[in-house]
Structures are given as structure tokens and as C-alpha cells.
């Protein structure tokens, strides 16, 4: 019986050792799963950070372009005034060609004029400089004193406009 008791005792020790090893293995598996989840969150955070940096870089580039394009609007205005004051001829045709090329380059960088004449006044796009009595519906733009422009979806210069006002009749 001593041998049987020894075998039984040994068997119990092995069972306890097995249970202990299973607990350790479960703990290690839980820890590994926890670390894997942490790693996944870290990877997602890093991806979000990288995307945020990319967006910020794009905004900085756009802002740099915005400053340059705002400065070039003065030249665009001068072109328009020169074209209005010139008589028909080869000089005017040449200047018009330069103007169109210049404007096309600015358009390629996202510049577009704000439509104003005949539209309803919108303070987001227009700046009312004058009000004039008119038979047009009140709030309609009846004159554009200076063209406004947008760069992509941002207004960089409001249109300076003349707005219709109800005429007091009778």
C-alpha cells in the first residue's frame, strides 16, 4: 500500500501542479490579450495622429497660398481696370490674353469669383457698401463695386456691392 499511497500522493501533486500551470497559462493568455489590445489602441492612435498631421500640413500649405493669392488680387483688379479703360485694338487683345492666362493660373489653385449681380445679398459673401432705391426686390444686388473671391470653399475677399432698397412711392 505504501506504493499505492505514494502513487496517489504523486498523482495529487501532479494534479495540483497541472491546475497551477493552467491558472498561470490563463493569466499569461489574459495578459497577452491585454497587451495586444493596448497595441491595437496605440496603432489606432498613431494612425489618427498621422492623419491629423497630414491635415495640418495641407492647411498650412493652403494658408500660404491664400496670402499669396490675396496679394495677387490687387494685380487682377489692375488688369480689369486697365482693360475697361483701353480702347479696342491689339494692345487690348494682348492685355486680355495676359489677364485670362493669369486668372486661369489662379483658378487652378482654387480661386473663383463670387457671383453677385442679380443675387440676393448674403453677408457671408457680400459687403454692402451702398443702398440705392430701385424697382428691384429689396436686398437684391444691383451693382458690384469690387469683385469678391473664394479660395476653395473660403471667402478671401467679400464682394463690395450696391443693394436695392424699396423705393417709397406715393
Q: Domain locations in the chain?
A: 1-79, 112-170
3-state secondary structure the chain: CHHHHHHHHHHHHHHHHHHHHHHHHHHHHHHHHHHHHHHHHHHHHHHHHHHHHHHHHHHHHHHHHHHHHHHHHHHHHHHHHHHHHCCCCHHHHHHHHHHHHHHHHHHHCCEEECCCCCCECCCCCEEEEEEEEECCCCCEEEEEEECCEEECCEEEECEEEEEEEECCCC
Greater model confidence, 11 or 168: 11
Task: Tell me how many degrees the CA angle 111-116-121 measures, rounded to the nearest 5.
Answer: 120
* pLDDT top residue among 89 and 34: 34
112-170: CATH number: 2.30.22.10
Query: For 112-150, how does the pLDDT look when each residue is reduced to its tens digit (9 = 90+)?
Result: 999 999 899 999 999 999 998 888 888 899 999 999 999
Q: What is the pLDDT of residue 145?
A: 93
Least confident of 5-19, 52-66, 96-110: 52-66
Residue 168's pLDDT is 63
Percent of the chain with pLDDT over 70: 98
Region 69-88: mean pLDDT is 89
Amino acid at each position: 500500500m505504501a506504493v499505492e499511497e505514494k502513487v496517489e500522493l504523486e498523482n495529487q501533486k501532479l494534479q495540483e501542479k497541472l491546475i497551477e500551470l493552467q491558472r498561470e497559462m490563463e493569466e499569461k493568455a489574459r495578459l497577452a490579450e491585454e497587451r495586444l489590445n493596448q497595441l491595437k489602441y496605440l496603432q489606432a492612435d498613431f494612425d489618427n495622429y498621422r492623419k491629423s498631421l497630414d491635415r495640418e500640413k495641407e492647411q498650412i500649405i493652403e494658408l500660404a497660398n491664400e496670402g499669396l493669392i490675396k496679394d495677387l488680387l490687387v494685380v487682377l483688379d489692375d488688369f480689369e481696370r486697365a482693360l475697361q479703360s483701353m480702347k479696342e485694338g491689339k494692345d487690348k487683345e494682348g492685355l486680355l490674353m495676359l489677364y485670362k492666362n493669369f486668372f486661369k493660373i489662379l483658378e487652378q489653385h482654387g480661386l473663383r469669383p463670387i457671383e453677385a449681380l442679380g443675387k440676393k445679398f448674403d453677408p457671408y459673401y457680400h459687403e454692402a457698401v451702398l443702398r440705392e432705391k430701385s424697382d428691384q426686390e429689396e436686398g437684391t444686388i444691383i451693382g458690384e463695386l469690387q469683385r469678391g473671391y473664394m479660395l476653395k470653399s473660403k471667402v478671401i475677399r467679400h464682394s463690395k456691392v450696391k443693394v436695392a432698397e424699396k423705393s417709397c412711392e406715393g
